[in-house]
Structure 1
Amino acid sequence: MRSLGGTDPVLDALQSAGSAALPIGGVLEARNELVKVGIDLLAGWREWRPGSTWRSRTDRFEAAHAVLVMTAYFEALGTLDLPFAPSGLETPHGDGGHVWDLATPLCPAPHRPFAQAVAAVRGYYRALSGQLLAFVAELDLWARLDEHARQWTAAAYGDELVERAVLRYADRYRTLAEDVPELAYWAGIADHQPSLAGMAELERLISLVASGAALPERLATLDRLHQAALVRPIAETGDLPIGLRLPTLAQAYVTPRFRAAEIAPGDDPSVEEWWEGHELRADLPVFLSGFLTASAAGEVPLIVLGQPGSGKSVLSKVLAARLRDAPFLPIRVPLREVSATAGIQEQIEQAVHHLSGERQDWPAIARSANGALPVVILDGFDELLQATGVRQSDYLMKVARFQHREADAGRAVAVIVTSRTAVANRAGLPEGTVVARLEPFGTTAMRTWLEVWNAVNADYFSAAGLEPFTFDVALSQRHLARQPLLLLMLAFYDADGNALRRENRTLGQAELYERLMTRYAERALEMRHPREQVARLVERELLRLSFVAASMFNRGRQWATTEEVDADLDVLLPEQRRTPGLATPHSAGHEALARSFFVHRAQAVRDDEVLHTYEFLHATFGEFLIARLLASLMRELVAQESSLALTGVHDGLLRTLLSWATISSRLPVVAFLQELVHDADRWRAVVLRLFRELDAREDSSIAAYRPWIAGPHRRYAYYSANLMVLALSCAPELRASEFMPGHEDVVTEWRSYALLWRSQCALAEWQSLVDLVAVRPVWSQDDVRELHLKLSPQELWEPGPFSWSWAGVDKLLSIAQLRRQVMFSALADEGALLALYMDDLRTHQQAHRRP
């Protein structure tokens, strides 16, 4: 109350307590005065809402919320129809030790539904009422009440009082939020206009809370430079067809849907399932306005997550441009352009220098902000992690410590960090961190984006005799069109003779990807090479990209470093290591990826050295390239098999690439393979032959190719498992006897391979084999003589009933023998099965025990 300007004498009387714990009797006596002062203060919002600094304003908003919570409760208390008045309660023994803890609940927060804040207030009121009832029960008056009056009073001080107070709180909050926009932003109840393009809605909302103070000229220059991004093209691309135009950032940026939550210990925001319980929202401007006007913005960073191509970096540019009015001073820091080893303050100063050409130190920037809150936008935290090879980082902890230091120095600063979702679990998150994840486009966002694209390029379409890129055409490739950057890619492709419109009705996904990648490679190469060379160069380009995809796949990641890609290409394509030129040559890996629209390049600077990692904009791009490479190798092996001059096939490159990870762990690779099979019978025959001759042939793989350290037995396990899946990709069903060399009976040999795969493959990869390959025994009398195999994802089949004969057990082992085997093998699942078997056995014995 004092921070809002309250000077009533009743506050002086209560001030003597010196804390939030006040005697209940004293508070009740002052109840009417407290309500009057509280209502007057809340009504005087025009006097306390302005403030010279961001910190002073947020303190007053939180103080207003505390006054509102207490005023609503005491108002409700005065409306109860009780056998006595709450004021005037007297006891000869004082308060009997009863005090009220009046520390109010947290304010509503933009990452939580307002109903959750109301529920917290309800719980708080219930605790107050419990303390009040305990106090009343010790009064002399209580002893004079009959049982009916006591029950009535207890009910009144219980749920009735709580619900009346909650209704008053919610009504008064909404009423006050109509005058104080910050409170509306916190609760997510602001008057939202999502139709404003390019995140202009954020600028409108911020203007409602602007202080009107002007920034000094040096800081105003930063503001203007950030705003200049709004009139530039929305993306950087290669060569465009003559006449085709890119919309500007202000025109084409579509505000995405999102989910938001506060991180608790043990939470992992990199996991899809974790997000499913959080609300899908479409009010990102309101959420950001709420975060930036709450005190938490100066204490912990806001983490913005998203998939590659989801628009994280574009959002960072939009934020820097739209937070244009005080009380905010945005400073965008592209982490790929500053030193990865520098402190947060040094990174900010480097970014300011890169943007403006002026060197300004951070304390001077913060001091000259005229009370505005600096908002530092650290874009590309995932690039920092990947490019520097850091697996566990305290970078975000350093950000929080930087914020705490600045707050203690009177220079509060908010920080927003963007990162790829998949690496969100590789850095410690400060307690209380709020995380927002950008969601893919829905149908409304797709339509909005397409309307802008078609309007900007209407003249081009008309002059070229083309149809606009319509929603129906985009929807045919929905898995790509839901990501903004990939939707742009599809728009480029269709602008070349309406290619997507002509083909999407008949094309499979593999053929679409083939045409997309081929056409993009052609367009990049046609500008630099004679036309007769382009086809050969395109195939070489896609081959190198395929090896890059294999670099990621065989390391069990969705990304790879430049050094890893270069090492692999030096081994797999030694004749293409470098491209001669006058300038310092780039690495082969850099050349393979720098020209590709389909690859995202992460970058960081460490000790003046630029470090890079790469990943595909959509995981299926890399998975298609892996399947394409395997299909190409299969065609070569079939050609070898058909040649009379050769007695066998040379599978060295195939074995090299398939000895490090199971293709079953990437189901899209298997799906693409099935689509790319051309001569299924001959492909299958070659693969089955390779499998049967595994023990008779020398390992012909390239010895220098080593994505990770693995012995020959492990590589043998991976290669044999992949040959099985490769063969099944060519046939609806195969017999196990077609694979087995015939040294023992089919079931025994199959069991040997299954145990080999189980022991040598990573647990997740072994499980992917079990989930993908359905094994069905074929019975002959009372014995299993054959196994039928087919690719069938786990949700499409259920295994048949268990049989001891199928298990290959001639006689039951004793419990002691089973225990010894389980302990020796140290397999958790077998131990669990034994425990279940023991429980069932005890239950059976108890049920049949004689009296």
Structure 2
Amino acid sequence: MRKTYSYNEAVKILGGRDHPVIAAMDKVLGGALLAGSLGLWQVLDLFDAKPDFLRLSNELISKVSAKRRGVSRHTRTQQLHAAHAVLVMTAFFEAFDEQQVPVKLTAEDRELVVRYNPWDEPLPLPSVGRSYEENLVVLARQYDLLAALLCEVVASMACWDGLNETERGRVRSAIGTAALRASERYQELLGQLAAEFPEIRFWFAVEDGRAARKALARLEDVLRETTTEVMPEVRFAELAGVYGGALRRPLVKSADVPDGVWIPSLADAYVDPRFQVVTSTDRAAAPSLLAWWDDVPVRDDLYAYLAGLLTSPEALSAPLLVLGDPGSGKSVLTEMLAARLPASDFAVVRVELRCTPVGCTLEEQIEHGLRTLLQEPVSWAEFSRATGGALPLVVLDGFDELLQATGVSQTRYLTTIAEFQQRLEDRGRPALFVVTSRLSVCAGLELPEGTQVVRLMPFDETQVRSWLEVWNAGNRPLLPETVLRYPDLASQPLLLLMLALYNAVDSSFQRDHEGLSRSQLYERLLDRFAEREVTKTGADRTEADLAEDVRYELDRLSVVALAMFNRGVQWIAEHEVTADLGELLGIGSPERLKGTRTPLSAGEMVLGRFFFMQRTEAVREDRTRLRTYEFLHATFGEYLVARFVWQRLLELRREDEARSRRKSTVDDTELYSVLSFAALTASKPVLDFLREFAERSDRGGLFDLVSRLFAARDESRGSRGGYAPVSLPDSVRDAKYSLNLVVLAVVVRGRCYSDQLGLGVDGWQRLTLFWKSRLPSSEWASVVLWLWVERDAERHFSVCLNIRVREPHAEWLMMSEPYVTLDEVALTLRDMVTPLASRYSLDVTAALIALAATRPDNCLPALALLRASDTSRGVFVSALLERLGQGGDDLSLLNILGPGYPGKPTELVEAWLRMYDRGERFEDKRPFLELIAAASNMDISHRPDLIRRARVAAADLGLVWPPSGPAPGWRGPVR
């Protein structure tokens, strides 16, 4: 839990007995301050007789800067925290003093007042994760509590009994005004403090109007203004030099750069990312879900946020968690952070978790990082004691990589860090922690109270233009409008660099982009990078050999993509890739005759050669390296999956053309192996790429082949192939293969009719129900989402791919499934339910149907079901009001409805008139009168018939319509 100071603690931190201002205050308060016994009694007495209190408090705040240089960063942070706590209380009691509340204490009040002691209560600390306005709201709540406390105290005093109601009201009003005025006075005092201490501005996320510099240079500027000017030891100066070297490093290693291409340095090319930030205490922890971030504003002042957090006390008790997608720049951000922080104030230890041995404790991970950085063994205790005035900042980069490579869950990792921070602070050696991770990996991760969670956002158009401005200064120009046609690539820094490198050789991207489909762009990109890898050996090749080797290189990458797709994962282990390469491409021996490529080991070499593939690594205690791999952007893998499937289909087509006439069809064992582990419908990009491939192919010949394979799907299969990325029953594999053949058929044909598939309606129903019974629920949902089946009068039905983009959910699946399975009974029920289900959730729809089937005198169970389903209560209230005056138990219905009656005006009046017309008067008239009052206070001017009937009924009851006030005895329904 983040520690905040009380007023008593704050004034002690600011100097104790040695500070002349505190000593003077303590003398005024009769020794109660430093003794820790300061209570409200002393302060109220002080307002009555000792106005020096406010003067002394203001002087205390102004004296904070007396020794602002030459102290440690932690000490300065503590002093500012304490000054802020004093400021909070001073603002309130200054505002209270302005109201001149006539509070006169007597001896008999002392025992009553002494119990109230706000001076020991923790005062709110501004959070850099909230805006200035949000922080003021938190503070306003504190002032409201202080005002309520004062009201309670004053009401318990002897003088209160001598005041009349008017005088008491004035006192309450004055204290309430003091709470409002305190916020204004607080902002005035805060402005004075922030003028001397710039970091205070950043605690509140207040933009300082600094000129637009990039690469986190503004962070360096801010922190150099606030530095404590403690000279760092040689060791830490050396560390700062190491980190500063990253700014001069080119974005890409020279070995990966084509000749004649200029690569800017990290400092020149780095663009400060946009980001979102949430404090863990503000909402339930689920940062891995994109929906969790939907209503979080996007910010572009990362330097200001970091300046505020790193100089704020709240960062000392919980880590900062930085999340982002692969290639979003998490690691580079930590490098920039380490390079920009002044060594006099921060002793940075940047630890790459992928390089730390598996099974290490947190402290051992830090010490491993220190040994790597300093090239000598250094214990954490020794390091943290030797930092002088610098505050240790531990950056743990790649938590997701540690999890991914080891496969071991560490949901308490951040909690362990927070507990470690607490122990360090207890020992007087506080430290800051930053952890980076991929967004999708942190599901289930515990977030300690006070944890700041930052999500790095993709580049927007302005950032893309800024990056290209630097790149184009030394290379063939690549226009922003060109790359912005492909937002999936342009929005990620590493992928934007990939596009720039592709264009830098001959401007082919800039020249040809208008005529390129997305699949053609991916094909050219991957061909270009594969060609660079192939030609690095310098061996002589014919053009045919080069083309064959490039194709083979991409085949191996495609196996990597297929390995992830068929296992339903985002990353893959090296040994799994090696196994798949052996089964699908026969790469298991060093012999390879085609081309002149040097034989390569199966998994290791193919995976580590492309910078659009990310390698994750962890090290066991026996120094065994655990590696996993993934694509920097999922679309690369999806393109390669589609490419591999399409290449296998084309090869099968060529074999089919060359087959003996005595064979009805070609052997499809290899295609079955590839397409019997995952439904193609599970990925829309894969479907899109397949459709683009089909546009440039022999549709007629391919459809003929696929339709014959589909017709022979139930024949006894001689072999299912040796490829088995996961273990599945044969029936499941058969279901997925038949589904994928249908998908390929509609991809090639566009729309397939029942006779082209060789199926009648009954056959289609059996096939789709077979799919449903054998596929996982997520894959079946994708079938319902992307297969569009329509009845046809002449040809029974047709199947095509759905082009409407929508997110599947349980209710939609239930309503849409009958159209795919052609289930006549389900279709009939679906059409009956559609009018309701199109407006309400399925739970509400079911409750409404149950309600419609019950009589008014037996509707209570159905209404209870509707109330539980309808979270907004609008439908429930309307349905209940419709049943009032219909012959049921009206009193019970009113009791279920509850007080307030939030119904529509006409519904309320009609309900009341129905009950009146049926002779309802109620022995206990309160519910009846309450309904009348609720209805009469609403506008029904558009229904003069109801107004006329209501006036007649009211006159008959001896009432006035509309009544001038609440009905007599109106206290809510009888329970």
TM-score by length of structure 2 reads 0.78
Contact 1:366–1:411 (8 Å) recurs in 2: yes
Distance 1:385 1:843, change over 3 A: farther
1:771 aligns with 2:779: no
Distance 1:307 1:238, change over 3 A: farther
CA distance in 2, matches of 1:20, 1:734: 84
Aligned residues: 812
CA distance in 2, matches of 1:417, 1:637: 49
2:297 is paired with a residue whose SS is coil
For residue 118 of structure 1, report the CA deviation from its aligned partner: 0.7
CA distance in 1, matches of 2:310, 2:842: 53
Letter in 1 for 2:540: P
**1:411 equivalent in structure 2:** 429
Mapping of residues 187-226 of structure 1, within 5 Å: 187-193=204-210, 195-226=212-243
> RCO greater where, 1 or 2, for CA within 8 Å and sep 6 or more?
1
CA distance in 1, matches of 2:681, 2:816: 22
CA distance in 1, matches of 2:797, 2:478: 54
1:64 aligns with 2:73: no
For residue 53 of structure 1, report the CA deviation from its aligned partner: 2.8
CA distance in 1, matches of 2:22, 2:664: 101
**1:470 equivalent in structure 2:** 479
1:689 aligns with 2:705: no
Contact 2:753–2:797 (8 Å) recurs in 1: yes
Contact 2:581–2:587 (8 Å) recurs in 1: no
Deviates more, 1:160-169 or 1:10-19: 10-19
CA distance in 2, matches of 1:658, 1:21: 77
Residue identity over aligned pairs, in percent, reads 35
The alignment's C-alpha RMSD in Å is 3.2
1:300 is paired with a residue whose SS is coil
Which of structures 1 and 2 has the bigger CA Rg?
2
Post-superposition Cα deviations, 1:349-378, rounded to whole Å, max 9, x if no partner, equal 332332332332322221111121111111
Distance 1:51 1:568, change over 3 A: same
**1:818 equivalent in structure 2:** none
Letter in 2 for 1:229: A
2:854 is paired with a residue whose SS is helix
CA distance in 1, matches of 2:669, 2:740: 14
**2:836 equivalent in structure 1:** none
1:628 aligns with 2:646: no
**1:26 equivalent in structure 2:** 42
Mapping of residues 102-117 of structure 1, within 5 Å: 102=119, 103-117=121-135
Contact 2:71–2:230 (8 Å) recurs in 1: no
Mapping of residues 480-559 of structure 1, within 5 Å: 480-528=489-537, 529-532=539-542, 533-559=545-571
Deviates more, 1:623-632 or 1:262-271: 262-271
For residue 812 of structure 1, report the CA deviation from its aligned partner: 11
CA distance in 2, matches of 1:772, 1:615: 26
Contact 1:238–1:524 (8 Å) recurs in 2: no
Contact 1:49–1:61 (8 Å) recurs in 2: no
CA distance in 2, matches of 1:610, 1:642: 47
CA distance in 1, matches of 2:817, 2:778: 25
Distance 1:616 1:812, change over 3 A: closer
Deviates more, 1:556-565 or 1:510-519: 556-565
For residue 93 of structure 1, report the CA deviation from its aligned partner: 4.0
CA distance in 2, matches of 1:229, 1:801: 55
For residue 569 of structure 1, report the CA deviation from its aligned partner: 1.3
Letter in 2 for 1:634: L
CA distance in 1, matches of 2:155, 2:482: 73
Among residues 5, 11, 14, which one is paired with 1:4 in the alignment? 14
Among residues 439, 461, 464, which one is paired with 1:446 in the alignment? 464
CA distance in 2, matches of 1:298, 1:672: 49
Distance 1:374 1:541, change over 3 A: same
Mapping of residues 640-789 of structure 1, within 5 Å: 640-643=655-658, 645=660, 646-677=663-694, 678-698=697-717, 700-702=719-721, 704-736=722-754, 738-739=756-757, 742=759, 745-746=760-761, 748-778=762-792, 785-786=796-797, 788-789=799-800
CA distance in 2, matches of 1:226, 1:812: 69
CA distance in 2, matches of 1:812, 1:209: 72
Contact 1:206–1:325 (8 Å) recurs in 2: no
Among residues 166, 176, 185, which one is paired with 2:193 in the alignment? 176
Mapping of residues 66-465 of structure 1, within 5 Å: 66-80=85-99, 84-86=101-103, 88-90=104-106, 92-94=108-110, 96=112, 99-102=116-119, 103-158=121-176, 160-193=177-210, 195-236=212-253, 238-264=255-281, 266-425=284-443, 427-455=445-473, 457=474, 461=475
**1:792 equivalent in structure 2:** 803
Contact 1:735–1:788 (8 Å) recurs in 2: yes
**2:617 equivalent in structure 1:** 603
Distance 1:64 1:596, change over 3 A: same
Post-superposition Cα deviations, 1:684-712, rounded to whole Å, max 9, x if no partner, equal 3333332332212416432x322222211
Distance 1:698 1:217, change over 3 A: same
CA distance in 2, matches of 1:450, 1:35: 57
CA distance in 1, matches of 2:785, 2:455: 30
CA distance in 2, matches of 1:155, 1:57: 39
Distance 1:585 1:792, change over 3 A: closer
1:571 aligns with 2:583: yes
Deviates more, 1:217-226 or 1:370-379: 217-226
1:259 is paired with a residue whose SS is strand
Distance 1:392 1:685, change over 3 A: farther
Deviates more, 1:188-197 or 1:442-451: 188-197
Post-superposition Cα deviations, 1:601-656, rounded to whole Å, max 9, x if no partner, equal 11111121111110101110000001111111221233334335252032222221
Contact 2:95–2:182 (8 Å) recurs in 1: yes
Structure 2 runs not aligned, ≥5 long: 1-10, 16-20, 830-840, 860-881, 889-975
CA distance in 1, matches of 2:427, 2:378: 18
CA distance in 2, matches of 1:554, 1:802: 28
For residue 16 of structure 1, report the CA deviation from its aligned partner: 3.6
Letter in 2 for 1:130: A
1:615 is paired with a residue whose SS is strand
Distance 1:249 1:835, change over 3 A: same
Contact 2:789–2:797 (8 Å) recurs in 1: no
For residue 544 of structure 1, report the CA deviation from its aligned partner: 0.7
Contact 2:236–2:343 (8 Å) recurs in 1: no
For residue 255 of structure 1, report the CA deviation from its aligned partner: 1.0
Distance 1:580 1:353, change over 3 A: farther
CA distance in 2, matches of 1:278, 1:15: 48
Distance 1:286 1:256, change over 3 A: same
CA distance in 1, matches of 2:589, 2:769: 40
CA distance in 2, matches of 1:616, 1:238: 21
Distance 1:850 1:30, change over 3 A: closer
Contact 1:655–1:700 (8 Å) recurs in 2: no
CA distance in 2, matches of 1:716, 1:379: 44
Deviates more, 1:728-737 or 1:560-569: 728-737
Letter in 2 for 1:360: V
CA distance in 2, matches of 1:624, 1:806: 32
For residue 766 of structure 1, report the CA deviation from its aligned partner: 1.7
CA distance in 2, matches of 1:168, 1:585: 76
Post-superposition Cα deviations, 1:269-299, rounded to whole Å, max 9, x if no partner, equal 1111111222211111111122211223232
1:197 is paired with a residue whose SS is coil
TM-score by length of structure 1 reads 0.88
Distance 1:371 1:680, change over 3 A: same
Distance 1:431 1:563, change over 3 A: farther
CA distance in 2, matches of 1:836, 1:659: 43
2:169 is paired with a residue whose SS is helix
